[in-house]
Amino acid sequence: MGITNSSVSGQFILVGFSDQPQLEKILFVVVLVSYLLTLGGNTLIILISSIDPKLRTPMYFFLTHLSLVDICFTTSIVPQLLWNLRGPAKTITSLGCAVQLYTSLALGSTECVLLAVMAFDRYAAVCKPLHYASVMNPRLCYALSGVAWLSGLGNTLISGTVTLWLPRCGHRRLHHFFCEVPSMIKLACVDIHAIEIQIFVTSLVLLLLPLALILMSYGHIAKAVLRIRSIQAWRKSLGTCGSHLTVVTLFYGTIIAVYIQPNSSYAHIHGKFISLFYTVLTPTLNPLIYTLRNKDVKGALGRLFHRELSS
């Protein structure tokens, strides 16, 4: 009833999980806890990477950017999701929807490229250890991070603007919990075949190209590791790459599962839960993965807490 009565001019209806009201209270708690952990964990990584001299390396420079992306990405989605989960009102203003669309698309695209950049950094660390400092010099690090942010901005300006300019003929009911491109273009009342091709090509470039670069980097890393006969060196190489590889698997595994699903009722329902995983849970898991599997981060946390206790 709340959804129907909320269909007012200038607002979109985010159907979300309203077809399963028994889950909404559970999801509210899960999403809220995950969001708080995301904010706390990623802020802590940014903090220790900034103040601990031992973490002022290219790896943690990019990790700081990843944490910032995760904080902003979840913040663009979760507050509205929590508001919609707590009661019958499922609306979002046109301006709010546009901001959410642009922000989440830009940050999601940035993360795709940033993960590829981090894979290149790991390749340089494992395959070019003697030249690592000269290869991953500060100028290159700033340039690569800039490319990641600018690629996300470019994608959202193109795909987001095209999506928002589509005529909808009064259709404002989105079968999702946030404003995203695939759901928004389904509201169009014109032939969207050309738009779908353009978005598919853009997704191919910003999703599969970074993934291909990641796989190439890890292919070279695997060859280098296989040539190593020292068990200690093996462990060091796996420790260097394990956290990033886990994050890549979680992020790409879920996001590809969303975008390659067929247009069926099964995909329609389960796609929302997969989207919930990569928009809410993955940013929560990232700092846990890096702290639990990384001796440097755990050491930095220990030094930080020791310093606080001493003072």
Burial of 1 (0-12, 13-18, 19+ CB in 10 A): exposed
What is the distance between the alpha carbons of residues 84 and 199, in angstroms, rounded to a whole number?
Answer: 28
Eight-class DSSP state of 90: -
What mean pLDDT is predicted for residues 136-141? Answer: 95
Q: What is the pLDDT of residue 270?
A: 64
pLDDT of 214 strictly over 70: yes
Reported as a single tens digit per residue, the pLDDT across 173-203 is: 888 889 988 888 888 888 878 877 877 777 7
Helix 265-276 with 231-259: angle, nearest 10 deg: 140
Question: Which residue has better confidence, 285 or 2?
Answer: 285
Q: What is the pLDDT of residue 4?
A: 42
Q: What is the pLDDT of residue 306?
A: 67
Six token digits for residue 270: 């389960």
263 Cβ contact partners less than 8 Å away, ≥ 6 residues apart: none
What mean pLDDT is predicted for residues 241-245? Answer: 83
Number of structural domains (the chain) is 1
Q: What is the pLDDT of residue 233?
A: 66
Q: What is the pLDDT of residue 105?
A: 92
* Band (153; pLDDT cuts 50, 70, 90): very high
Q: What percent of the chain is predicted at pLDDT more than 90?
A: 34
pLDDT of 244 strictly over 60: yes
Q: What is the pLDDT of residue 256?
A: 76
Radius of gyration of the chain (CA): 21
Question: Which residue has better confidence, 305 or 98?
Answer: 98
Q: What is the pLDDT of residue 269?
A: 57
Reported as a single tens digit per residue, the pLDDT across 25-50 is: 899 999 999 999 999 999 988 988 88
What is the distance between the alpha carbons of residues 109 and 208, in angstroms, rounded to a whole number?
Answer: 11
Mean pLDDT for all residues in the chain: 83
- Rounded to 5 degrees, φ, ψ at 223 are -60, -45
Residue 57, H or E segment: none
What is the distance between the alpha carbons of residues 72 and 69, in angstroms, rounded to a whole number?
Answer: 5
Residue reference for tokens 């698309």: 105
pLDDT of 303 strictly over 80: no
Six token digits for residue 123: 């390749």
In this structure, what CATH number is given to the domain that contains residue 284?
Answer: 1.20.1070.10
Q: What is the pLDDT of residue 228?
A: 74
What mean pLDDT is predicted for residues 155-167? Answer: 88
What is the distance between the alpha carbons of residues 264 and 153, in angstroms, rounded to a whole number?
Answer: 31
Domain range for residue 193? 2-310
The pTM assigned to this predicted structure is: 0.87
Q: What is the pLDDT of residue 243?
A: 82
Q: What is the pLDDT of residue 290?
A: 78
Eight-class DSSP state of 20: -
Helix (H, G, I), strand (E, B) or coil at 297: helix
H helix intervals, 204-294: 209-226, 231-259, 265-276, 282-292
pLDDT of 1 strictly over 70: no
What is the distance between the alpha carbons of residues 107 and 234, in angstroms, rounded to a whole number?
Answer: 34
Helix 282-292 with 295-310: angle, nearest 10 deg: 80
Strands 91-93 and 173-174, sheet pairing: unpaired
Question: Which residue has better confidence, 134 or 207?
Answer: 134
pLDDT of 264 strictly over 50: no
Q: What is the pLDDT of residue 180?
A: 86
